[in-house]
Amino acid sequence: MNYQNISVTRRSPHLGAFIEGVDLSAQLPGETIQEIRNALLEFGVLFFRNQDLSETEHIHLGEQFGTLDEPHPVFDCNQDDPRLTIIESKGRAGDAEHYWHSDVTYQVAPSLGSILLARKIPESGGDTLFASMYAAYDTLSEPIKKMLESLTAQHSIERGWGTALRMRPNGEKEVQKLKEAFPLQTHPVLRTHPETGRTALYVNEYYTSRINELSESESEGLLRILFHHSQLPDFQIRHHWQVGDVAFWDNRCTQHYASHDYGAEHRLMNRVTIVGDQPYFKH
């Protein structure tokens, strides 16, 4: 694809690109917004270096690409505008369980994309890994692809957050409130991207609890295979953060994993997520 208003450098054969020549703190021209959208569709995740964004500017950046999602149900939020999520950890106390995932797949309409800004980074570690679910699907065997076409899966907020929340005082009550607010959702195991038309594998180890059409043992066995396959290094890139980095990823066709390898050091990120649509699979 030809880009006139931004500079694009591919990071791997499957996903990822560095974007230069744009100041994300500004009101972006329509042509630049469209090119960033096009790059997101082409590469799945975009990285912008040396961006000096206030919290208000970060929120405005997200709004230029769509409606922002409601406050995250677990993470801390900005007091003035709770749509800005604060992801802060010092050794991830109380969050011992963490897996590859696509954001908020426990919702009826999971997010289109997320925009993450690095504010404080450990001296070492704290990278984020991203994986292409297009590539994960494309490399499955034809018999497995055919079988997955008719399958749907349950996505559970309890599976993702239950363990961490139950480590808190009154954690069980918090879990029950979340389950009431976010009941089990069913999504197709394969997802058709609404803009590119490509097929992506759409199960993730953090939130996907079972495949509806299979017995419990069959579901467990197949999900184990699909989780392992989706997490192969072949489909991944790893981003080493610098303060001021912004990552913008497409939750409809990627997964990500924040590496917990920085001990008790301080890591502070801000995130906004953009409202998406209900997943579907088109044969």
Q: Which residues are designated catalytic?
A: 101, 103, 256, 271
The DSSP bridge pattern shows strands 17-20 and 7-10 to be antiparallel
Query: Which sign does the torsion angle of CA 212, 222, 165, 255 carry?
Result: negative
Specify the amino acid at residue 213: E
Q: Where are the alpha helices (DSSP H) in 113-184?
A: 133-138, 142-148, 157-166, 171-181
Question: 3-state class of 29 per DSSP?
Answer: coil
Rg of the chain, C-alpha, whole Å: 18
| Spatial separation of the C-alpha atoms in residues 217 and 229, rounded to whole Å | 19
Q: What DSSP line would sit under 126-144, residue for residue?
A: --EEEEEHHHHHHTS-HHH
Residue burial 117-129, b: 16+ Cβ < 10 Å; e: rest = bbbebbeeebbbb
